[in-house]
């Protein structure tokens, strides 16, 4: 009987995990793509990898030539090659946001944060280059990854929190992303903070969505 109970317990956990994954299809499809591309990167030589990623980078050079292609392609690769931390972050933030907002609205937040923060940060870098504050070689700086979209989603989850925790959460988010701008700012740090502001600006997408968890505490969310 004890073994049967354990098997039923494992089965119940498996069903709960599958229900959670099924409630956030976009998140886990994206993670699957990132897993495949990360494996592919590990099979490349360091020299080839750098050139390969540079051609899919949202730097000034590539944005001026192939803006749509690189904006899409850059979100399919992880610079650094460590997939597991992103699997955790996607589950904690992206999956919760998608289950709360629905796939279409979650994707809109991701796209807005990724695209707008990229354009703003690269525009700021272009101005810095023109003014001699950054080297000319910065136009081809390697810039791929999913962190801008993640930062935007982290911020938008503020609207799904319940008081007073939501304000503590907001303070933590603003300090986490704002502190690098005070200490030793880079244009990537600037882009992250911009993406947080964009996520907070997505309030019209979250109207009427209630809290992240439903009143029964089941973790399910309404679809509107």
For residue range 57-116, list pLDDT tens digits in order. Answer: 999 999 999 999 999 999 999 877 789 999 999 999 999 999 999 999 999 999 999 999
- Please say whether the beta carbons of 47 and 115 come within 8 A: no
Distances (CA, A) of 30 to 10, 24, 33, 39, 202: 27, 10, 5, 14, 21
List CB contacts of 24: < 8 A, sequence separation 6 or more.
94, 95, 96, 98, 99, 103
Cα 134 from Cα 154, distance rounded (Å):
30
pLDDT in tens, 3-52: 545 545 556 677 878 888 889 999 999 999 999 999 999 888 888 888 88
Cis peptide bond prior to 164, omega within 30° of 0:
yes
In residues, how long is the chain?
224
Pairwise CA distance, residues 176 & 150, whole Å: 13
Q: Name every residue whose Cβ is closer than 8 Å to that of residue 98 and which is 6 or more positions away in sequence.
A: 23, 24, 25, 26, 27, 106
Q: Which comes out higher in pLDDT, residue 218 or 22?
A: 22
Contact 146, 34 (CB under 8 A): yes
Q: How far out from the chain centre does Cα 72 lie?
A: 13
């Amino acid at each position: 009987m004890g073994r049967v109970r354990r098997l039923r317990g494992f089965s119940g956990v498996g069903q709960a995990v599958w229900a959670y994954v099924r409630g956030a299809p976009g998140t886990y499809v994206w993670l699957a793509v990132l897993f495949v591309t990360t494996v592919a990167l590990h099979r490349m030589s360091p020299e080839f990898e750098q050139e390969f990623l540079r051609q899919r980078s949202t730097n000034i050079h590539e944005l001026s030539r192939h803006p749509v292609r690189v904006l899409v392609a850059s979100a399919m690769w992880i610079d650094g090659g460590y997939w597991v931390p992103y699997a955790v972050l996607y589950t904690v933030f992206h999956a919760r946001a998608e289950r709360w907002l629905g796939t279409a609205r979650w994707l809109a937040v991701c796209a807005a944060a990724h695209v707008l923060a990229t354009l703003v940060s690269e525009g700021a870098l272009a101005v810095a280059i023109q003014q001699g504050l950054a080297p000319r070689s910065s136009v081809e700086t390697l810039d791929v990854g999913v962190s801008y979209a993640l930062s935007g989603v982290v911020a938008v989850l503020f609207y799904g929190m319940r008081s007073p925790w939501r304000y503590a959460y907001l303070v933590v988010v603003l300090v986490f992303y704002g502190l690098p701008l005070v200490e030793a700012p880079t244009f990537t740090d600037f882009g992250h903070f911009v993406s947080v502001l964009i996520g907070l600006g997505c309030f019209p997408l979250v109207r009427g969505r209630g809290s992240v968890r439903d009143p029964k505490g089941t973790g399910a969310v309404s679809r509107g």
